[in-house]
Structure 1
Amino acid sequence: MLKIDIHTHILPPELPDFKKMFGYGGFIQLKQCPGCTDFDMVDDSGKFFRRVQENCVNPEVRLQEYDKHHVHVQVLSTIPVMFSYGIKAEDGLVVSKLLNDHISEVVKSNPKRFVGLATVPLQDPKMAAKEAERCIKQLGFKGFQIGSHVNDWNLSDPALYPFYEACEALDAPLFVHPWDMRGQDKMQKYWLPWLVGMPMETSLAISSMIFGGIFHKFPKLRVAFAHGGGSFPFTIGRIQHGFDSRPDLCAVDNKVPPKDYLGHFYFDSLVHDPKALKYLVELVGAEKICLGTDYPFPLGEQIPGKVIEDAFPNDKETQEWLFSKSALNWLGMKKEDFAK
């Protein structure tokens, strides 16, 4: 059975000194650990952010690890900390192009095993639209990964419309990933930004797009949300009740009930619990859920597809939707694209 993982992250093995290049700070650097194959991600002051293993930068290691779990295709995207929405737009374009050119080369090295999602400088949506066109038409990308918000803009902000228009024109899907979690100053202990902040961020993105009428204004937009939609699927009852009880506050930009959009967009399967995955399938249908693992990070699914198999052990039809058919529809690709 074909298996496509839509949620994996990759970095180039080397990053330039962006602080020296642009003349100001706030950038991540990659430093190989002495005597081993791991890398430390540090900011330009040298402060440690995260350690990543060789599988984050080495395509061959990735394939070896995925072969063990019989997963055939990885959809590659950058690590969200690299979005760089907070820097000057023209510098953000430089960062985006560097990351996109790298992913493009990895995909070209093995197009039957890798698919690319590009990143764009969304702090300038018109500039982002131009880079989007380059990525699709020249580099062969299939879609884009974007953050759950862009600085002070939620994903409903009209400023982002030029980018959405470009995605529709290019027939390119979006993968929305939480990042820059709000309220982190109150979540410093217990890894709470990742455990609590990320699910909130994803729900914020979905709710903003629903209430802002994005799916109505851009009906051809194919959007997938990371981490099983975060807290959204489990609070949709509350969101719908808020819409019903206070339309003066909720229905100001879109009169369509939130529940009417269930099944209109996609989720990855990264919920870590078979019961939660069963609920998600019941809520939106198997045809709107794609295998996603957050590889190669520890908060991801360590055995790709295990939760799917545990949730639906004797249901090959549902497994096939979650393992590949939904992803193919979202990507706009065919099974034959990956035939050996």
Structure 2
Amino acid sequence: MKIDIHTHIMPEHIPDWFKKFGYGDFIHLEHHKPCCARMIKGDKFFREVEHNCWDPAVRTKEMDMTEVSVQVLSTIPVLFNYWAKPEHGLETSRFFNDHIAQCCAHHPERFVGLGTVPLQDVDLAIKEMERCVKELKMPGLEIGSNINNLNLSEPKFHPFWQAAEELGCCIFVHPWEMMGENDMGRYWLPWLVGMPAETARAIASMIFGGIFEKYPKLRVAFAHGGGSFPFTIGRIEHGFNVRPDLVAIDNNVNPREYLGKFWIDSLVHYPKAMDYIIDVMGENKVCLGSDYPFPLGEHHPGHLIDSMANLSPATKDKLLFQNALDWMGIDKDLKVIASH
């Protein structure tokens, strides 16, 4: 069994909210040729995508080709729309969530859905989270690594974390709006360098902000192998020890104590890096994640794990599916476990 916790999807037809609302970088699609579409951001070209971005039949065929049993579907981060007016962010979130729920309903044995919420307004975000969990039967949400440049540890987000813990709603944190993005556009550096740093920012801010301390039952996973965080934990801990006046101002617990208390995906592209994250994070906290269907993803999900002869069959099972089930709080039949 393979459960891929990091896959993105969008509807085939998205309303032109730029025209409807009269502002912003809302995305819609222009289907200019078969099996292909242009993503239009506001009124400007953003990216070209293929039909595996929206067509469940194509996805399931490609899943079969790569022996992926289940995809965990989440929206594409450019669709978070955190910058929008709250009521418009809610409207777009509900549209994407209903689409993902429909995909899961039509293919209940192949897809599990994560919702998106308008975190620019925490009260609206909590209401939509409740709808995702209670009505749409989703085990969790995907959120960005920052919310309009605010760290996830900001006090205004504490009610969101409390509600997620109480609902048993798992959270997948994905980098977006990378720090320094406007200063390093050449060489694709925002994606190659900015994304790992952005994920580390999210993890470190949640640790230092005391989120895992205040809400210990949260089940949070971070994309892209935890970004640069696992590889800089020594530096992060050293900073905590030598400058507690700057670092330990909201939480005086050593950051190393939180290793093993959250999950990361397996998207590191390198056997030595895989060995390292398993060693640092623990073999119970790494989940298969491919970033399907995008170029930076693992094109044959789980191939790196399968290829590593030093990993036992039991460890591979944990990485390929068991840890994903634990993080989402679901069983092998993809049903939410009652205790969650």
Coarse TM-score class (shorter-chain normalised)? over 0.9
Which residue identity does 1:17 align to in structure 2?
Answer: D
Write out per-residue CA displacement over residues 190-228 of structure 1, whole angstroms, 9 at most, x where no aligned residue.
000000010010000000000000001111110000000
1:44 equivalent in alignment to 2:19: no
Q: Which runs of 4+ in 1 moved over 2 A?
A: 310-314
Superposed displacement of residue 184, structure 1: 1.3
Matching residue of 1:27: 26
- Structure 1's 307 and 229: CA in aligned 2 closer, same or farther, altered over 3 A? same
Say yes or no: does 1:67 pair with 2:64.
Answer: yes
User: Which residue in 2 is equivalent to 1:13?
Assistant: 12
Q: 2:83 aligns with which of 81, 86, 100?
A: 86
Counterparts of 2:23 and 2:225 in 1: how far apart (Å)? 37
Structure 1 residue aligned with 2:257, among 257, 260, 268? 260
Question: Over residues 64-101 of structure 1, what are the superposed CA-to-partner deviations in whole Å (9 max), with x where a residue is unaligned?
Answer: 00101111000000000000000101110000000000
| CA–CA distance in structure 2, aligned partners of residues 245 and 150 of structure 1 | 29
Task: Identify the range of structure 1 (71-80 vs 184-193) with the bigger mean alpha-carbon deviation.
Answer: 184-193
Unmatched segments (≥5 aa) in structure 1: none
TM-score, normalization by structure 1: 0.97
Distance 2:66 2:231 in 1: 30
Matching residue of 1:236: 233
Which AA in structure 2 matches 1:43?
Answer: K
Match of 1:201 in 2: 198
Report the alpha carbon displacement of residue 23 of structure 1 after superposing the two structures with TM.
2.4
Deviation at 1:25, TM superposition (A): 2.8
- 1:18-66 CA distances to partner (integer Å, 9 max, x unpaired)? 02221223211111123x2111111222x22111110000001000001
Q: How does 1:309-328 map to 2 (within 5 A)?
A: 309-312=306-309, 315-328=312-325
Q: 1:156 aligns with which of 153, 156, 169?
A: 153
For the 8 Å contact 1:275–1:311, the answer to whether it is kept is: no
Paired amino acid for 2:248: A
CA-based RMSD of the aligned residues comes to 1.1
Work out whether residues 40 and 47 of structure 2, in 8 Å CA contact, stay in contact via their aligned partners in 1.
Answer: yes
Is the 1:104–1:116 Cα contact (8 Å) retained in structure 2?
yes
Please state how far the C-alpha of 1:312 moved relative to its aligned partner.
4.2
Q: Distance in 1 between matches of 2:131 and 2:241?
A: 43
Q: Contact between 2:225 and 2:264, CA under 8 Å: does it hold in 1?
A: yes
Alignment partners' CA distance in 1, 2:5 and 2:310: 21
Counterpart residue type for residue 27 of structure 1: F
**Per-residue deviation, 1:335:** 1.4
> Matched residues in 2 for 1:311 and 1:286: separation?
14
Indicate conservation of the 8 Å contact 2:24/2:84, yes or no.
Answer: no
* Correspondence list, 1:293-308, <5 A: 293-308=290-305
**1:90 and 1:67, CA in 2 relative to 1: closer, same or farther beyond 3 A?**
same
User: Counterparts of 1:272 and 1:294 in 2: how far apart (Å)?
Assistant: 12
Identical residues among aligned pairs (%): 56
Q: Once the two structures are superposed, what CA deviation does each residue of 1:256-284 show, in whole Å capped at 9, x if it has no partner?
A: 00000000000000001111001110111
CA displacement 1:119-170 (0-9 Å, x = unmatched): 0000001110000001111111110000000013101101111111111111
Question: Where does residue 338 of structure 2 map in the other structure?
Answer: none
Q: Which 10-residue stretch deviates more, 78-87 or 162-171?
A: 162-171
Give TM-score scaled by structure 2 length. 0.97
Tell me if structure 1 keeps the 8 A contact 2:109–2:333. Answer: no
Single out whichever of 183-192 and 16-25 deviates more from structure 2.
16-25
Query: Map of 1:92-103 to 2, 5 A cutoff?
Result: 92-103=89-100
Q: Counterpart amino acid of 1:201? A: E
Match of 2:271 in 1: 274
Contact persistence 2:104–2:111 (CA under 8 A)? yes
Which of 103, 107, 110 matches 1:106? 103
Gaps of 5+ in 2: 336-340
Q: Is the 8 A contact 1:312 1:319 kept in 2?
A: no
Residue 246 of structure 2 is matched in structure 1 by 249
Mapped contact 1:117–1:144 kept (Cα < 8 A): yes
